[in-house]
Chains A and B, each alone.
Chain A
Amino acid sequence: MNTRQKNNKILNRILSMYFSKELVYREQLLVWIIADVIKIVGLCFVWVASSKLSDSVSQSYVVSYYLLIMLVSKLTTDYTLEFGVRDIIYGRFSNLLIKPYNYLIEYLGTNIGGNILRFLIFLPGFILGVYFAQKYNLWIVDFNPYNIFLGIIAIIIGFLISFILGNTVSLIAIYIKEMDSIRTFYYNVASLLSGEFLPIVFLPMWGAFVLHLFPFRYTLSFPVEVIIGNINDYEIRLGFMISIIWLFVLFFSYKTVYSLSKKKYEAEGI
């Protein structure tokens, strides 16, 4: 069995373990999704009211955008900052390091598992949302197969960016044990720059430019923009190019931070 087959087998095993474990707490998953829906619906109302004041953005765009944000976020979110940080602080990270495979495979399995579960639980809600949005002429996505295909690729890249970013930031726990502030700060920045809090279409030129430069847009807003189809081919190509560059930059940054942090890691539990 070659390394890739071995890693795939480990990943599948971790996924099935994750499903068995998390399905015990189905209620919690469902409630988390309800909480997430409350947050996004609140934002949707804010921007729908704002779109009524301007001619540049339609209400149907805002509703479609936020419905897709809810769906895409279920697939691109990284949870390493929750459990990975705890692993380092409580010393469980040592167990991962001595395993005969890269610990990232285990984290990848946990994240993919979490996202698949959340996606599946949220899917009926999304379909219902699309149904009502269509009924009130607030849905503008025509499910063009080309856009959906590009959207799926953008989601995969977005998830990988999110995963590498989460893992890089988690390594700070090796140096600083009190990580709450860093984690909250990271979530604030990600929420602001991903387009969840401030949709890119409402931003002035300079604001949109800033969002285009940072990697966070490609974890949420960009896949949604591609699926909606309101950006032209040039912007799609540019978006993919920037996101792939970020993916490589972040991967090599992670490798560097990891090799430096590993030397500092003291394998203690507090």
Chain B
Amino acid sequence: MKQKEYSKIEHYIKVWKHIIKAGINRSYIYKADVFLRFFRSFFVLGIQLLFLNAVFGSNDVYVGWTKSEAYLVMGFWNILNYFSWSFFGVNLMYLENKVLDGQFDYILLKPISSSWISSFGDFFLHNFVTGFSGIMLVIYYLVLEWSNLSFLNILVGLLALLVSFIFWYSIYLFFASFTISRPRNGFISVAKELLGTTKYPIDIFGESFKVVFYTIIPIAFITTVPANILIGRENYLYVLIAFVISLVLLFFAEMSWKKNVKGYTSASS
């Protein structure tokens, strides 16, 4: 029988569909775990609201951001963080085990990009659900400030958020790539904490650090820039800059991956 031929992109989409389906099916097995994860989503949201309320105290403005704007930044961060965990974060975290167990050999043997399958080889529904806490915070901001917002700013702000996903992925991939040639290095935890700082507006770090976070370590483009664009106080040019930087980061991450694959020593027998 003649096999249907797929283009490269179609092939990847088809594989990914299967991965997501398998991930959803797995959640039926560990029902208690999934239930706790769902409960945790609300808990996380509660902690974040409590945290922001304590940070603001009785003040309306904090480092130039109103409370609802801080919710927006936190919302963007939740979307990026938990959706990333569900699609690639956990997979890249588990890469170390695969390298140590020798399972990475099988990844390299597959007729698919090793960086792609290592990143997107499994799907975690519970993290995906926690990501909705971010959507709720963003919707809360939109409803509250709807009359002051421009539709175009909202669209460009959301576009900037999509670019942030490339940022997020590139940083994770870059740090995870070193696990292949040197497992047990802990680099991925640095990526996690570095990206964790973006849940606050970059302005909290003061002017000197702000310059650093817009240039040398450009994490300001992850949540602060998209939020500022949506609010309407940042130039659209920043989205283009963010896009270019994210592609450069992705390129470097892929290069680092390939370099580390060359230095990989199989652990299996």
Contact = CB atoms under 8 A, between A and B. Distances in A.
A15 to B, nearest CB: 21
A28 B186 contact: yes
A38 B194 contact: yes
Contacts of A36: 193
Interface string A166-189: 000000000011101110110010
A202 B57 contact: yes
Given A34-B190, A188-B44, A50 B62 contact: yes
Interface stretch (A3-11, A40-48, A215-223, A224-232): A40-48
B33 A38 contact: no
A39 B185 contact: no
B184 A192 contact: no
B222 to A, nearest CB: 13
A185 B32 contact: no
Contacts of B12: none
B251 interface: no
B57 A176 contact: no
Interface in A141-165: none
Nearest to A204: B54
A31 B36 contact: no
B54 A184 contact: no
A178 B209 CA distance: 41
Q: How large is the interface on A (under 10, 10 to 19, 20 to 34, 35 or more residues)?
A: 35 or more
Interface string A3-37: 00000000000000000000001011111101110
Interface string A41-68: 0100111011001100000000000000
A45 B30 contact: no
B63 A182 contact: no
A207 interface: yes
Contacts of A53: 56-57, 59, 62
A35 B186 contact: yes
B193 A39 contact: yes
B184 A25 contact: yes
B113 interface: no
A19 B196 CA distance: 30
A112 B114 CA distance: 39
B187 A31 contact: yes
B189 interface: yes
Contact of A35 (B32, B44, B58, B190): B190
Given A45-B204, A49-B63, A181 B54 contact: no
Given A42-B196, A176-B32, A47 B186 contact: no
B192 to A, nearest CB: 7
A122 interface: no
A213 interface: no
B237 interface: no
A197 interface: yes
B186 A197 contact: no
B40 interface: yes
Given A53-B62, A188-B43, A192-B47, A180 B204 contact: no
A185 B40 contact: yes
Interface in B120-135: 126
10 contacts: A28-B185, A31-B186, A39-B193, A42-B193, A49-B62, A50-B54, A50-B62, A53-B56, A188-B44, A202-B55
Interface of A: 25, 27-32, 34-36, 38-39, 42, 45-47, 49-50, 53-54, 176-178, 180-182, 184-185, 188, 192, 197-198, 202-203, 207
Given A45-B209, A177-B30, A192-B50, 14 more contacts: A27-B185, A28-B184, A30-B186, A31-B189, A35-B193, A42-B193, A49-B55, A53-B62, A185-B43, A197-B47, A198-B50, A198-B54, A202-B54, A207-B50
Closest CB pairs A-B (n = 7): A31-B186, A35-B189, A178-B33, A181-B36, A28-B186, A38-B193, A42-B197
